Amino acid sequence: MFGGSGYAGAELIRLLLIHPQISLGTVYSGDRIGEPLSAAHPNLEGLTHAKFQALPAELADLDADVCLLGLPHDVSAQVVRALSGHAAKIIDMSGAYRLHDVGAYEHHYGEPHPAPDLVPKFVYGLPEANADAIRASRYVASPGCFATSVELALLPLARAQRVPAEVNVLAVTGSSGSGVKPGPGTHHPYRAGNLKCYNPLRHPQAPEIAALLSTQNQSEVHVRFVPVSAPLVRGIFMTAFVRLREDITNDELARLFDDCYADARFVRVPADRLPEVVAVAGSNYAEVGWSVDPNDARLVTLFCALDNLVKGGAGQAVQNMNLMLGLNPALSLEAPGSYP
């Protein structure tokens, strides 16, 4: 795997170490080279003797069936280019290959895509929407954490072609989503008693949400997305506001969600409560739910809670890997998180 010293890397290593049919190979990193994995991830103490390795000059000779990439989008794009001559399957956790529209990539990342010819090879890796394509693909782009939460909440409506042209989203996220290196806006004393939005209406995951929903909805969906930094370590709580073209009842919504997620191992619809972060933190499960406005049955508010590092990151990458290898998609992922 590539990029193992961050928080998502820690989760990815943990899940691979307990996987019954996968052997963790070399863990490459841009820092901590030569140090044991437990130097960055103390929860791995005694579980492995592996050390972080420097990225090799020649990647085409790697001995691996699957390469998982947890790198910044610009670095990831270059590494995928170098790996493209290799026979291994590739799962990229960055935003480098999520957008098939390279113009949208340039708009949101401020630079031309470094490998536009590889973009069409990638399947968007939301298992609940694209499981068959993921199974058949060699290249998978795992969705972003915010994107996963919005897409899971709206997928049942999209499959029924009932998502309106505009969706308004507010999503609250924990500090681990900002990465392992502290910054002025993520330092704990600043964040612990604080709530603030960032990148309102400009977040780079908005176009991937719109692309997935538009495809499923069979008509264009525009997403107005405001992310909020919260004093949590793990978790995303997402709220989406939609005005449908026609009234809908709670029973109709229940049928749509049941039909959509009947075979989805990691999506839960709580029976007697709405989704909450504490129920899913540390796990690969997501919870979804809804509320219909009692005064206007066209107004629906949708909710999703998930762990940004697991179902929103490393867990989803492992779920995709299992699908690509023809394995049980739930391998190494079934454990619930801790409570409280």
Q: HEC profile for the chain?
A: CECCCCHHHHHHHHHHHCCCCCCCCCEECCCCCCCEHHHHCHHHCCCCCCEEECCCCCCCCCCCCEEEECCCHHHHHHHHHHHCCCCCEEEECCCCCCCCCHHHHHHHHCCCCCCHHHHHHCEECCHHHHHHHHHHCCEEECCCHHHHHHHHHHHHHHHCCCCCCEEEEEEEECHHHHCCCCCCCCCHHHHCCCCEECCCCCCCCHHHHHHHHHHHHCCCCEEEEEEEECCCCCCEEEEEEEECCCCCCHHHHHHHHHHHHCCCCCEECCCCCCCCHHHCCCCCCEEEEEEECCCCCCEEEEEEEECCCHHHHHHHHHHHHHHHCCCCCCCCCCCCCCCC
Q: Is 145 a catalytic residue?
A: yes
Among candidate residues 108, 225, 109, 95, the one with its CA nearest the CA of residue 172: 225
Catalytic residue among 145, 197, 260, 304: 145
**How far apart are the two ends of the chain, measured CA to CA in Å?**
32
Q: Give me the active site residues, please.
A: 145
